[in-house]
Structure 1
Amino acid sequence: MSELPLFPLGAVLLPGGRMSLRIFEPRYLDLVKRCGRSGEGFGICLILAGREVGEPAIPATHGTEAVIVDFSMTEEGLLGLTVEGRRRFHVEHTRVRDDGLVLGDVRWLDEPGPATLRDEHALMSVLLARIMDKAGLDHEGPGKGDLADAAWVGWRLAEWLPLEATERLELLQLADPHERLQRLVERLPDFQAE
């Protein structure tokens, strides 16, 4: 078990994914200062009840460790952060500090070792390559490099396909990258234009 400050959001951060945040509440400004000094991360969890601003929100029991990779000042004079998702965790218990920051006792979830895409999911690598081409992102080609890694392909598709936040949370909870890809395969017909 580890104690981890939690940042409840209306979005899900996935392992390897990046997210931009605007920080203005004192509890989160203090959190960012501490993380900046220590190099430690904080947890991002989907909000189940409440709002991102104001009273502490109730976070989902699963989340992703966020590590700060860049920061800047926004046009509004707010602190802007870019965070990257690292390890998945399960929240066992939460408590709220006097300043409103939610702390969680978390259990880090085991990640399976590298897994090559199965033949039945090869199309997912092709789909992701096309998405990356449209976004102007370099890659080695379908079925090569990261595009051959079942976990990486699943996380990126879960991040970039038009899924609801609750669907991303469900995918975050799955340990098996092949099961995650299969769930995405089953959703593909819903994304096709009529």
Structure 2
Amino acid sequence: MTSIPLFPLNTVLYPDGYLPLQIFEVRYLDMIRKCIMGEQPFGVVQLRDGAEVRKPGQHEILAPVGTLAPVGTLARVIDWAAPLSGLLQIKCMGMQRFHILSSEQLKHGLWMAQIETLPPDKTIPIPQEQQNVADALGALIRTLQEQKIPPEQMPLQPPYRLDESGWVANRWCELLSLSAMQKQLLLSQDNPVLRLELVQDMLTENGLLEE
């Protein structure tokens, strides 16, 4: 069991996912600075209700208890810049998934949680039945590279593990226009091949894969 600071967002971070953030709230500036100095991760967790940005006049409780999703992902800062006083621009990568055992919001608004980390995806090759999912992702990566998009603006980062079920499934989970609930359910799915099969169904339904 480990205690970590949380960054609740209206999105979901997956393992090996790329997440650029602009930090300007005092509670998160302090948190991120400590994480950078101590080379410590923080937790990204979906906020089911409420908003992650405090509004003027809003007091301690940002969102009622129970509005944090039970499963999140550890994030590590891989690059950062401070272009202005009171502003941090950071680039993060998703690490291991975790399950929240308990959480509390401190007086200044920062969420802390007791967590247990979940096992990483097993390295499972792409089944033949889902090879078209990996092929479509590879084609998308090539298209983005041909457009000469700067690496820091690419929605996914190398190494491109197009032969791994979990990696391919997670990248599509980030790229597809899914509801917050769908993204959370896919993150919570422990079987990477089943996650890949669910992604394949969604791609097919949206006409993004050939039958």
Task: Give the AA of the match of 1:159.
Answer: E
How many percent identity over aligned positions?
A: 30
- How far, CA to CA, are the matches of 2:99 and 2:138 in structure 1? 31
- Structure-2 residue corresponding to 1:169: 184
Equivalent pair of 1:96/1:103 in contact (CA under 8 Å): yes
State the Cα distance separating 1:81 from its structure 2 match. Answer: 0.9
**Cα RMSD after superposing both structures:** 2.0
State the Cα distance separating 1:131 from its structure 2 match. Answer: 1.2
- How far, CA to CA, are the matches of 2:47 and 2:102 in structure 1? 15
- How far, CA to CA, are the matches of 2:85 and 2:139 in structure 1? 35
1:152 to 2:159 alignment: no
How far does the alpha carbon of each residue in 1:116-159 deviate from its partner, in whole angstroms, 9 at most, with x for none? 11111111111111111121189xxxxxx711111111111111
Task: Give the AA of the match of 2:202.
Answer: R
State the Cα distance separating 1:68 from its structure 2 match. Answer: 0.4
1:113 to 2:122 alignment: yes
Task: Give the AA of the match of 1:164.
Answer: S
SS in 2 for 1:163: coil
SS in 2 for 1:146: coil
For 1:1-194, list aligned pairs within 5 A: 1-54=1-54, 55-57=61-63, 58-73=67-82, 78-136=87-145, 146-192=161-207
- How far, CA to CA, are the matches of 1:28 and 1:154 in structure 2? 30
- How far, CA to CA, are the matches of 2:193 and 2:7 in structure 1? 29
Task: Give the AA of the match of 2:93.
Answer: E
SS in 2 for 1:49: coil
- Structure-1 residue corresponding to 2:154: none
- How far, CA to CA, are the matches of 1:95 and 1:78 in structure 2? 26
Equivalent pair of 1:68/1:83 in contact (CA under 8 Å): yes
Q: Size of the alignment, in residue pairs?
A: 187
Task: Give the AA of the match of 2:192.
Answer: P
State the Cα distance separating 1:46 from its structure 2 match. Answer: 0.8
Runs of 5+ unmatched residues, structure 1: 139-144
State the Cα distance separating 1:89 from its structure 2 match. Answer: 0.5
State the Cα distance separating 1:9 from its structure 2 match. Answer: 0.3
